[in-house]
Copies of this chain bind each other. A is one copy, B any other.
Amino acid sequence: MTVPRQAVLEVLSADDRYRSAEEIFFQLHEQYPAVGLTSVYRTLTLLAQMGLVERFDMGDGKARFRLRTGAEEGSSCRLICTNCMKVEPCDQEAVEDQAASGSMDDVTRSLETEYGFQLRRRVVEYYGLCVDCRRRNEEKRSQEEN
């Protein structure tokens, strides 16, 4: 545990907003002027690899980082404001249950009443292994057995 790492964790612990590396760097800088932007990036990458930090790629070219709370595992659901870029976690179960069906209209209504959020676009992404890569993996594995 070194100074830069402690500093990054300190800032991340302060609150659970998503912040860019630069934002984190500037917040650090007041209390730890010696810590460089490079180390902030390195620490964030390290913490993300360790699973302590969640990296989130917004469409604007800058990655955002946030301390993992442990509540999320494998699945995530969030409200993203296209105006101020604020990211707010939300409970998918609650949203979908509130909605009578999974239809866009019902979800829109649910988000409106639950969060005051005005829905424009819903994105669902399933990350994993496609059929081809799966097959290729299995082939490789069976080759290694020989």
Contacts and interface: CB of A to CB of B under 8 A. Distances in A.
A67 interface: no
Given A90-B126, A96-B102, A124-B125, 14 more contacts: A75-B122, A76-B121, A76-B124, A77-B123, A78-B126, A79-B130, A80-B125, A80-B126, A81-B133, A84-B130, A88-B130, A111-B126, A119-B128, A122-B124
Contacts of A116: 130-131, 134
Interface of A: 55, 57-59, 74-84, 86, 88, 90, 92-93, 95-96, 102, 104, 107, 111, 115-134, 137
A129 B81 contact: yes
B133 A84 contact: yes
Contacts of A96: 102
A128 to B, nearest CB: 4
Given A116-B131, A124-B124, A131-B116, A93 B83 contact: no
